[in-house]
Chain A
Amino acid sequence: MATRSKNATSPQVISKQAASRKIVEVAKNIHDTISRKRRKPSLHFPVRSLSNVKYDTRKGYFEILGKQVTRTLSYTTVKTFAQSMRLLAVTKNELLDKDDIAAKREVYYNAKSWGDCRFEHQPESDTLLDDMEAMLGINREQLGYVPDERGGDVCGFLTVIDKDQGTGKDIRIDCTKLGTGAWSVPSRVEHLRFESKAKFILVVETSSLFQRLVHHRFYESARCILVSMSGVPTRACRRFLRRVSDDQKLPVLTFTDGDPYGYCNIYRTLKVGSGQAAHINRYFCVPQARFLGVTPQDIIDYELLDATHPLEPVDIKRAKDAMKNDPFIKHHKEWQKALEQMLKMGVRIEQQAFAKHGLNFVLENYLPEKIKKAKYLP
């Protein structure tokens, strides 16, 4: 029987009024600088990159450091500055004060009414949102922004207890009784409660492999929860895994492609967070995650060398960059060895490559063997 874990760190909860006040404070400062001090106003943000994080081994995630960027109003920044002001205004007046929500893409379209000031492409507005989030120190979900990205699919021994939006009554979702489908992680997971009889959580990169595991009811034989990430896990997916893992004290095993992207982007982000989101990593990370495969050694152990692809220049660059600049990889000798081994072999491998030995080799042999051995990469 599950109990709600009390020590699960959840993002600092800020009321909408407080968030609104914080925005007004920023605006007042700027107005003062312009009108009283007659100086060019500046905005300050924490630097959001790997150069501004420290791998805190005790806490188990990328902790943000104190580096700040200052965006002073100038010819080159006037456009983004203006956009920031208008974005703040919309956030305060339309979302916080009116208790509304908006998707990133809706913000992008909303700004189309700003004339010259509009965003040409969505990445522009996304970046500004991230800036704003970092500047205010309030994650964007609390500002009323909902991600329009998929959170991930779940199947297996997990019961999710959600609330009915209308009646407020509990809804129990048994993730073993979803037929041929799966349960999708919603964008906000803080209110969910969980029950589980599983022994661990298996997170897989690709949904095709996820479907194979679901189809053959792998979660029954392995007594686990299956989660598919479809690439780099979204914030919601990471937060969900963290909560389930904390709540049910379950280990998290990660199964990605055997390439630098799978190791250094997907797995590393899942476990310790990213440089981009450095200011909120502490909530959106799963420090208890371990890496199951596919490791470079697996290629040799499972005679898969003829099912590999040569490393692309971008893979090689990514691996070398990570060994040089990624605090997580730098901290773990095992990961450095794995990457070196991969570079030496000059090949990468996909999760599906086990099909060489038969379509179900992966779930009949590979996964059980690996789980039995329980030798994971940190």
Chain B
Amino acid sequence: MATARTKTRKRSKPAIDTAETMARKQREISVSEFFLKNRHLLGFDSPRKALLTAIKEAVDNALDACEEGGVLPEISVELVQTSGKRFDIRVTDNGPGIVKAQIPKIFAKLLYGSKFHRLRMSRGQQGIGISAAGMYGQLTTGKATRIRSKIKGKQEAYLVEVQIDTRSNKPTILRNIDEDWLPTFYPAKESGVQPKPVEFRHGTSVEISLEGTYVRGKLSVDEFLKQCAIVNPHLELHYRVQLLPRKGADEEKPDGADASWITYTRVIRKLPPPAAEIKPHPHGVELGMLMQMLKDTEARTLRAALTQDFSRVSSRSALEICEQAGLNPSAKPAQIASRESEALFEAINRTKLMRPPMDCLSPIGEDQMLAGLKKEIEADFYTSVTRSPTVYRGNPFLVEVGLACAKPGENQELGSEDPVRILRFANRVPLLHMAGGCAISKAITSVKWKSYGLNQPGGGMPIGPVVIAVHLASAWVPFTSESKEAIAHYPEILKELTFSLQECGRRLSIFINKRRRAAEAQRKHQYITRYIPHLALGLKQLLDLGDRQETMIVSNLTTMLEKSRLEVPEKSPKSKK
């Protein structure tokens, strides 16, 4: 735009903006406007990715809502193609429902939510996602976001249709009616029989029309949901894709996904332990945030502010910080000037403090991770490691790794000549894009997989029929961008990732060795029993032996060879000399 202006100016009289004329052009930019122009930051850069991101945000919210409400989640995802590039997506959950008055703000106001202002592990963080999805739909199809919700105990459900006023970042309510509605789920057919639909007394459903492209494969909605099911074994998930028949395609058999429901079943009937909310740890707070907190605090003294608003600051360590910074502990927090707050900030980072409390994390758990892998991935070896929590920059986090290894050639999706499949998760949310820039990928390539029995050409991705699922749980996951696709390379995180991967690798190598030895023993046994009868037959022919003697030779020799093989298995390489 700026260049366009200079061009016109060259032709007309050169006019110079004065401070006043410039001031007339200067105005507030709403967040919504900003994101409308920078939608790639939120993961809506291409139609394919937009479809995935919208579903991802809706599913994240649904899962968070169910877990916070203490309900075992049952979620359905429906994808209906309405015209070439247009889709209606509907995500329904059996969560506690949403109070009517909150619906417009939650679904049509950016940066509105319950999760930004607290420190505890949850899928959503900033309160942008679902509103951004609605906004993207509104932008590409002009249609409003449609929300149905029913709260437990209330008679009526309600339907709200909202749009976002991108200028003011405020919701516009288009429709708001009471309706008779119950969240209903349709489990997949079991051996041809359609089970009864399942109804719940409470829940929420959000419907967005948007422009998108449906694909299959590694970066697809299908893959995202499958990974969700792995990492949330307590989730019952129903999924259906309804595509329009392609032009020229067989009308009877529309290609692409058929319209029947598929179900990812629940294998863990217990909710993960709820994550506790914690106050920020001083070591994880940046200077600006510290200043803001000092301004906002309800405490009257600096010392009280430090102990009340932060975790792990005892009265004594607060005193120590004040001393270090050369500040009066009873100074009014709001009056700490910017220079003093800098001193305070440095003092905080010099002071030794206890690690933040770890109960704000809710790990998947080793058993649950195993269950998730077992139900979705066909393999003959599974293992998982959950590390104890630790801290990066004052933020608690922990790493979990699950690993599944299939017998070569038995799982068609896992080629033994292909790179291992990496499933990345942050706070139980699958990360599909930007694998290259992610700390998880870096950690995997940094591990020496060769010593664990996998090929690793050029020190890159290991090769083998293996799935590695890596989960980072943190009160604040350090994503490299707002579209939440890759985890930043913090050394503490890389270290934990590496340790847990190595642990899984060690177990894998034990298994691979065992499998190899068993196969070897089996092979040797077969080999021996294949040739001994010939030896006996030769002797029989030479010496005119009877059948009984022949059988004797076979059984004697088999016993002798089997025995010697078991007795001295380690000696064979030496005796080669």
Do A and B assemble together?
Answer: yes
Contact A75 B528 (CB under 8 A): yes
Give bound CA distance, A306 to B528, whole Å.
59
Interface: A65 (CB within 8 A): no
A residues 26-77 touching B (CB-CB < 8 Å)? 27-28, 30-31, 34-35, 38-40, 73-75
Interface: A14 (CB within 8 A): no
**Residue of A whose beta carbon sits closest to that of B557:** A34
Residues in B neighbouring A89, C-beta threshold 8 A? 537-539, 541-542
Contact B553 A35 (CB under 8 A): yes
Contact A88 B538 (CB under 8 A): yes
Contact A85 B560 (CB under 8 A): no
Given contacts A73-B561, A74-B561, contact A23 B542 (CB under 8 A): yes
B538 contact from A38, A74, A85, Cβ within 8 A: A85
Q: What is the 8 Å Cβ interface bit string for chain A, positions 124-147, against chain B (1 contact, 0 not)? A: 000000000000000000000000
Chain B interface residue count, CB cutoff 8 Å, equals: 24
**Residue of B whose beta carbon sits closest to that of A114:** B534
Give bound CA distance, A79 to B565, whole Å.
16
**Nearest Cβ distance between residue B535 and chain A, in whole angstroms?**
4
Contact A31 B553 (CB under 8 A): yes
Contact B553 A34 (CB under 8 A): yes
Residues in A neighbouring B552, C-beta threshold 8 A? 35
Contact A78 B560 (CB under 8 A): no
Give bound CA distance, A31 to B557, whole Å.
11
Residues in A neighbouring B543, C-beta threshold 8 A? 24, 27-28, 31
Given contacts A34-B553, A34-B557, A73-B557, contact A78 B532 (CB under 8 A): yes
Contact A75 B527 (CB under 8 A): yes
Give bound CA distance, A117 to B536, whole Å.
12
Interface: A116 (CB within 8 A): yes
**Nearest Cβ distance between residue A155 and chain B, in whole angstroms?**
46
Residues in B neighbouring A31, C-beta threshold 8 A? 539, 543, 545, 553
Interface: A81 (CB within 8 A): yes
Give bound CA distance, A83 to B543, whole Å.
16
Residues in B neighbouring A83, C-beta threshold 8 A? 534
**Residue of B whose beta carbon sits closest to that of A80:** B531
Given contacts A27-B542, A78-B527, contact A85 B561 (CB under 8 A): no
Contact A116 B542 (CB under 8 A): no
Interface: B270 (CB within 8 A): no
Q: What is the 8 Å Cβ interface bit string for chain B, positions 538-564, against chain A (1 contact, 0 not)? A: 110111010001001100110011001
A interface residue count range (under 10 / 10 to 19 / 20 to 34 / 35 or more): 20 to 34
Contact A74 B564 (CB under 8 A): yes
Contact B534 A86 (CB under 8 A): yes
A82 contact from B538, B560, B565, Cβ within 8 A: B538
Residues in A neighbouring B5, C-beta threshold 8 A? none
B549 contact from A35, A39, A73, A85, Cβ within 8 A: A35
A79 contact from B527, B542, B545, B556, Cβ within 8 A: B527
Give bound CA distance, A78 to B564, whole Å.
13
Residues in B neighbouring A81, C-beta threshold 8 A? 531, 535
Residues in B neighbouring A115, C-beta threshold 8 A? 534
Given contacts A38-B556, A40-B564, A74-B564, contact A79 B541 (CB under 8 A): no
Interface: A243 (CB within 8 A): no
Interface: B524 (CB within 8 A): yes
Contacts between the two chains (Cβ within 8 Å), count: 84
**Nearest Cβ distance between residue A102 and chain B, in whole angstroms?**
16
Q: What is the 8 Å Cβ interface bit string for chain B, positions 511-533, against chain A (1 contact, 0 not)? A: 00000000000001001101110
Residues in A neighbouring B531, C-beta threshold 8 A? 78-79, 81-82, 116-117
**Nearest Cβ distance between residue B564 and chain A, in whole angstroms?**
7
**Nearest Cβ distance between residue B395 and chain A, in whole angstroms?**
58
Contact A93 B534 (CB under 8 A): no
Contact A85 B534 (CB under 8 A): yes
**Nearest Cβ distance between residue B296 and chain A, in whole angstroms?**
78
B535 contact from A23, A39, A74, A85, Cβ within 8 A: A85
Residues in A neighbouring B565, C-beta threshold 8 A? 75
Residues in A neighbouring B556, C-beta threshold 8 A? 34-35, 38
Interface: A282 (CB within 8 A): no
Given contacts A34-B557, A75-B528, contact A117 B542 (CB under 8 A): no
Q: What is the 8 Å Cβ interface bit string for chain B, positions 459-493, against chain A (1 contact, 0 not)? A: 00000000000000000000000000000000000
Contact A82 B542 (CB under 8 A): no
Residues in B neighbouring A28, C-beta threshold 8 A? 543
Residues in B neighbouring A23, C-beta threshold 8 A? 542
A residues 253-286 touching B (CB-CB < 8 Å)? none
Residues in A neighbouring B524, C-beta threshold 8 A? 75
Contact B560 A40 (CB under 8 A): yes
Give bound CA distance, A79 to B532, whole Å.
8
Give bound CA distance, A115 to B552, whole Å.
21
Contact B532 A92 (CB under 8 A): no
Give bound CA distance, A92 to B528, whole Å.
25
Residues in B neighbouring A84, C-beta threshold 8 A? 538
B542 contact from A39, A74, A78, A85, Cβ within 8 A: A85
Give bound CA distance, A34 to B549, whole Å.
11
**Nearest Cβ distance between residue A261 and chain B, in whole angstroms?**
31
Interface centre among B530, B538, B543, B545 (most CB of A within 10 A): B538
Q: What is the 8 Å Cβ interface bit string for chain B, positions 370-390, against chain A (1 contact, 0 not)? A: 000000000000000000000
Contact B545 A117 (CB under 8 A): no
Contact B541 A93 (CB under 8 A): yes
**Residue of B whose beta carbon sits closest to that of A84:** B538
Residues in B neighbouring A82, C-beta threshold 8 A? 531-532, 534-535, 538
Interface centre among B534, B542, B549, B552 (most CB of A within 10 A): B542
Give bound CA distance, A258 to B538, whole Å.
48
Contact B549 A116 (CB under 8 A): no
Give bound CA distance, A116 to B539, whole Å.
17
Given contacts A75-B565, A85-B535, A116-B534, contact A24 B527 (CB under 8 A): no
Give bound CA distance, A35 to B561, whole Å.
14
Would you mind naming 16 contact pairs between A and B with Cβ atoms under 8 Å apart? A24-B542, A27-B542, A28-B543, A30-B539, A31-B543, A35-B556, A38-B556, A40-B560, A74-B564, A75-B527, A75-B528, A82-B532, A85-B538, A85-B539, A92-B542, A117-B534
A-B contact sample (13 more), CB < 8 A, given A79-B531, A84-B538, A87-B538: A35-B552, A40-B560, A40-B561, A74-B561, A75-B527, A75-B561, A82-B531, A83-B534, A85-B539, A86-B537, A88-B542, A89-B541, A117-B531
Q: Which residues of B contact A (CB under 8 A)?
A: 524, 527-528, 530-532, 534-535, 537-539, 541-543, 545, 549, 552-553, 556-557, 560-561, 564-565
**Closest CB pairs A-B (n = 8):** A85-B538, A89-B541, A82-B534, A27-B542, A82-B535, A117-B534, A86-B538, A82-B531
